[in-house]
Amino acid sequence: MAEYVLALDQGTTSSRAIVFRRDGTIAGQSQQEFEQILPAPGVVEHDPEVIWSTQLAVAREAMANASLIAEDIAAVGVTNQRETTILWDKETGQPIGNALVWQSRVSAPICEQLKAEGCEDVVREKTGLLLDPYFSGTKVKHLLDLHPGLRERAGRGEVLFGTVDTWLIWKLTGGRRHVTDYSNASRTQLLNIHTLEWDDELLRIFDVPRAMLPELVPSSAVYGETDAALFGCCIPIAGDAGDQQAATFGQACFTQGSAKNTYGTGCFLLMNVGDQPVASQNNLITTVGWYVGGKATYCLEGSVFVAGAVVQWLRDGLGLIETAAEIEELSATVEDSGGVYFVPAFVGLGAPHWDPYARGAIFGLTRQTTAGHIARAALDSMAWQTCDLLDAMQKDSGVPLAELKVDGGAAVNNTLMQFQADVLNTIVKRPQVSETTALGAAYLAGLAVGFWEGLHDIEKNWALDAEFHPVVNMEHREEQLAQWRKAVGRSGSWV
C-alpha cells in the first residue's frame, strides 16, 4: 500500500515539492527559485512554462530524495501562489504571454475605472473582496484588453484562464482537466461566495467570457490522474487549495476563531469564521478557506504584499547580505532598530490600507544608523504589518486572539517571532513542521483517498516546536506602534 503523499507547493519566488509520511513528517523535499520578471515599477510577471518546469523537476527530485517511485505515492496535492493569472491556448497548451503575478499593480487603472462606474459595492458584497489589482478579475480583463481578438477567442472556448493551481493540474493531467477549487476561485472576483458559483453579473463587470473559466471542484476530491509519462505511472490528483488556505488547513485551524499567520514572500493572516461568510468592516477580505465534505469553511484574511520579499531585496537589491539566512545574524548586531522604520511598500500596501500607489520607504535614518539597524527594521516590518492586520481582524470578529499559530520561511527566526509576540501582546506558537502550506495540500489530497480518515488524524499530528510569550513594556509598545503608523501614513499615495 502507498505510504506517502506528495505535495506540490508552487510559490511566488520558488517551486517546491515535499513528500509526507502518515504522521505529517517530511520524507523528502526539493526546492528551486525562479526568475521574477519586472518589466516596469509595480509590475511583476512569471513565465508559466518555468513555473511548470521547475515544479515538475522538484516533484521528481523530492521523490528521488525519499527513494520513492510513483507506486509509493497515494495521492498528489497542489497548493499555489493565489491570484496569479495565466491565459493559454486550449489547443496548443501554449501560454499567452507571461503570468501576471498577484503582486502586480498593472490593472490599477482598471480598478479606478470600475470604482468610478460604481461597481465596488456589488463586487465587495458578492465576492468578499475589494476592487484592487491584487485579485485576478482585473488581471484577466487587462490581458483580454491587451491582445486584439483574444476576448472573442476566449468566448469560443479557445483560450483558457486559470490561477496557478489550474495551470499545474492542466499540465499534470496532460490537458485533460481544467479545474480550480473553491478556495482559489474565491480569489478571482468572479465567484459569488454565497452561491459558490461563477456569477453572471461579475462576469459582465469584468468582461470575462464564461467559456474560459475552469470547472469548480472541492478542495479535497480526486480530480484526475497524473499523465503516466511524468512519474512512471498514474497518481491520483486529489487536493487543491490556495497557499494561505492550505497553510490554515495544515495548521489544523478547524475551530471558529482559530488563526494562523504565514511569513512568506508576503504575510497572510487568516482566521476561521465558520460555515458562513463574515463581511469585514475594517478592510479585510472574506474568502473561502476550503470546501471539504460537501461544506465550505470561510475565513477572514489580511494580506501583506511584501514580507519575506524584503529580505530578498536586502540580498539582491542592496547587497547587504549574501544569503537570506544571514538576516538574523546581521540584525543581531544591534539591540533594536534604533528608531528606524522600514515600510516595504514596493508594490503598494495591502490590508488594511489597500493603497496601490504607496511605495517603499525607510524613516528615522541618522548618522548612527548601521546595516544592522536596517536589517532589524526590515524584520520588524513583518511584525508591524501583522499587528495592523490583527487589530482589524479582532474588530471584525469581536474575538480577542489568545494565540497565533505561525509558519513560513521567516517563522524560523526567533528574534522576529519574539518581537511578533511583543507587538501583538499575544502568545505565538510555531509547529515542528513549519512547511504547513505543503502539509495542508497533502492533508486535503490524503483525505480524499482515505490516507487520513478525518480531521482528528490531522489535529493529532500537530506538534509544538516553540512558544513565544510577550514580555514588552506596553507603554513602549504603544510609542513604537504610533511611530510605525506615522511611517505608513507618509509612504502612502506616493505615485
SS3 content of the chain, % helix, strand, coil (to 5): 35, 25, 35
- What is the residue whose three cell numbers read 504607496? 358
- What is the residue whose three cell numbers read 517603499? 360
CA–CA distances in Å: residue 341 to residues 2, 327, 336, 383: 51, 16, 11, 12
| Centroid of chain to Cα 319 | 26
Instruction: Report the alpha-carbon distance of residue 228 to residue 70 in Å, rounded.
Output: 9
Whether 243 has a binding-site annotation, put simply, is yes
Instruction: Report the alpha-carbon distance of residue 339 to residue 311 in Å, rounded.
Output: 19
b/e map of 229-253 (b: 16 or more CB within 10 Å)?
Answer: ebbeeebbbbbbbbbbbbbbbbbbb
Whether 16 has a binding-site annotation, put simply, is yes
What are the cell numbers at 69?
517511485
Whether 308 has a binding-site annotation, put simply, is yes
**Which DSSP symbol is given to 334?**
S
Whether 105 has a binding-site annotation, put simply, is no
Whether 413 has a binding-site annotation, put simply, is yes
Whether 85 has a binding-site annotation, put simply, is no
Whether 12 has a binding-site annotation, put simply, is yes
To 10 degrees, what angle do helices 414-424 and 474-491 make? 100
Q: What is the DSSP string of 110-163?
A: HHHHHHHTT-HHHHHHHHS--S-TTSHHHHHHHHHHHSTTHHHHHHTT-EEEE-
Whether 42 has a binding-site annotation, put simply, is no
Whether 121 has a binding-site annotation, put simply, is no
Whether 475 has a binding-site annotation, put simply, is no
Whether 239 has a binding-site annotation, put simply, is no
Whether 409 has a binding-site annotation, put simply, is yes
Whether 83 has a binding-site annotation, put simply, is yes
Binding residue positions for ADP: 12, 16, 265, 308, 409, 413
Binding residue positions for glycerol: 82-83, 134, 243-244
Binding residue positions for ATP: 12-14, 265, 308, 312, 409
Binding residue positions for sn-glycerol 3-phosphate: 12, 82-83, 134, 243
Binding residue positions: 12-14, 16, 82-83, 134, 243-244, 265, 308, 312, 409, 413
